[in-house]
Structure 1
Amino acid sequence: MGTASPSRGRNRRGQGERLREEIVATALRLLDELGDDEALSLRAVAREIGIAATSVYLHFADRDALVLAAMERSHADLVRAADEAEAAAGDPVGGLRARVQVMGTWSHEHRGLYKVLHESAVNQRCDTSFKMELGKRTTAAVQRCMDEGLAPADDAAAVSLDLRAAVHGAVSMRVNEPNLPWEPLEQQVDRLLTKLVGVRLP
């Protein structure tokens, strides 16, 4: 963790939202380093920014509230990255492939956030329905492949869930058992797309 910045004075009017954003950004960085939200404290976040802990409590009632905000931000970032990758692909199969590859590589590159996003007890204590959005968009991408005759007709929601479960498993095993002789994640994702969705990849 970095050295705390010097303590600063009170925010001028209208800067409260900017401080909230800085708190969330700092929490995201620390969570990615820690890989365990139970190890995060509001005081540690305040110390990193160089503010009093009471300033954090003005924006977040407790640690769960801050972790939830960080989870929602990281999920939104992942959704946006997957959307952009799919849009750039130009065809349904390429779009699905790009979307799932982003899901896999993001989770692999942000191992700490991945663990928090999927393994935190905050998932049981708080409303995390925002996480359904990524699944809905992946299901829509699978459906587009089926509609174009590029994948066998099936229940797109069930196929999408199988695919996401498999990709999450592949990432989780890499995160928790990094010393196994893993092949490149992209190759495994391509194989899962072929076997579970039935698309043909170049």
Structure 2
Amino acid sequence: MEKTSAAGPAAPKRARARNRRGEGSRLREDIISAAAALLDETGDEHAITLRSVARKVGIAAPSIYPHFPDQPAIMLAVVQREFAELETLLRSVAQEAGDDPRDQLYAVCRSYLAFAKSHPERYRTMFGGLWMPTLGDNSLTEEDLVSLGSTAIQVLVDVLTDCAAAGQCAISDPGLDAITLWLSLHGLAHQRAVIRAFPWSEESIADSIIARITCLKDA
């Protein structure tokens, strides 16, 4: 029997409106957005299941299968979208920093750390959270996992290459140095997230990391 109150019958939960023909891609994006929202709300990757995502979108769980064969595929799509947004952010701030490669380098690195700070749950998930499955037990491939984040890292490679070409830093392998720089920034972002009281100046540490790893020359 439907519950009632003094204000009248309880309003039934509205189901999601069905997509028109050709709008399946919209449902796919809705599924990804719902999974990302659940991650933000719960901070728990285990909370993202086919049932919970379907409930969040307002569809039946089987409606997910034409778009995603399993839960790891949904998580992969969430992570891929976050990396795409990170890449867009980093390229945008590099462009806004002007023509000086040194300024672009600092802008990209600082924006990376700001992204990690403002999206802690998503950031943790992007870099090998609990969702990472054992290959062979699901629909994911090794290439799916190996390629994650490569385009965002390429932004660092690009700005380091420009710095070296301008004679502003002493590096010999932009690709390797970009990975080294990223690992150091990632370590800083991780420590900042897990230490309740961070007693050091984050900006000065970040600037020191950038200058020391790239052998950045004085302006």
TM-score w.r.t. the length of structure 2 is 0.82
1:26 corresponds to which of 17, 23, 34: 34
For residues 53-78 of structure 1, give each alpha carbon's deviation from its aligned partner in whole angstroms, at most 9, with x where no partner exists: 12222211110000000000000000
2:192–2:198 Cα contact (<8 Å) kept: no
1:72 corresponds to which of 64, 67, 80: 80
Q: Which has the higher helix share?
A: 1
C-alpha deviation, 1:99, in angstroms: 1.0
Matched, 1:82 2:99: no
The CA RMSD over aligned residues, in Å, is 2.1
Query: Which whole-Å CA distance do the structure 2 matches of 1:70 and 1:43 have between them?
Result: 16
TM-score w.r.t. the length of structure 1 is 0.88
Match of 1:141 in 2: 159
Query: Which whole-Å CA distance do the structure 1 matches of 2:216 and 2:198 have between them?
Result: 27
* Structure of larger gyration radius: 2
Gaps of 5+ in 1: none
C-alpha deviation, 1:201, in angstroms: 7.1
Gaps of 5+ in 2: 1-12
Query: Which whole-Å CA distance do the structure 2 matches of 1:109 and 1:16 have between them?
Result: 31
Matching residue's letter, 1:83: R
1:173 corresponds to which of 191, 204, 209: 191
Residue 183 and residue 11 in structure 1: after superposition, are their counterparts in 2 closer, same or farther (change >3 A)? same
Percentage of pairs with the same residue:
30
1:34–1:112 Cα contact (<8 Å) kept: no
Q: Which shifted more, 71-80 or 52-61?
A: 52-61
Match of 1:15 in 2: 23
Match of 2:206 in 1: 189
Query: Which whole-Å CA distance do the structure 2 matches of 1:138 and 1:63 have between them?
Result: 31
Query: Which whole-Å CA distance do the structure 2 matches of 1:165 and 1:110 have between them?
Result: 18
Corresponding pairs, count: 198
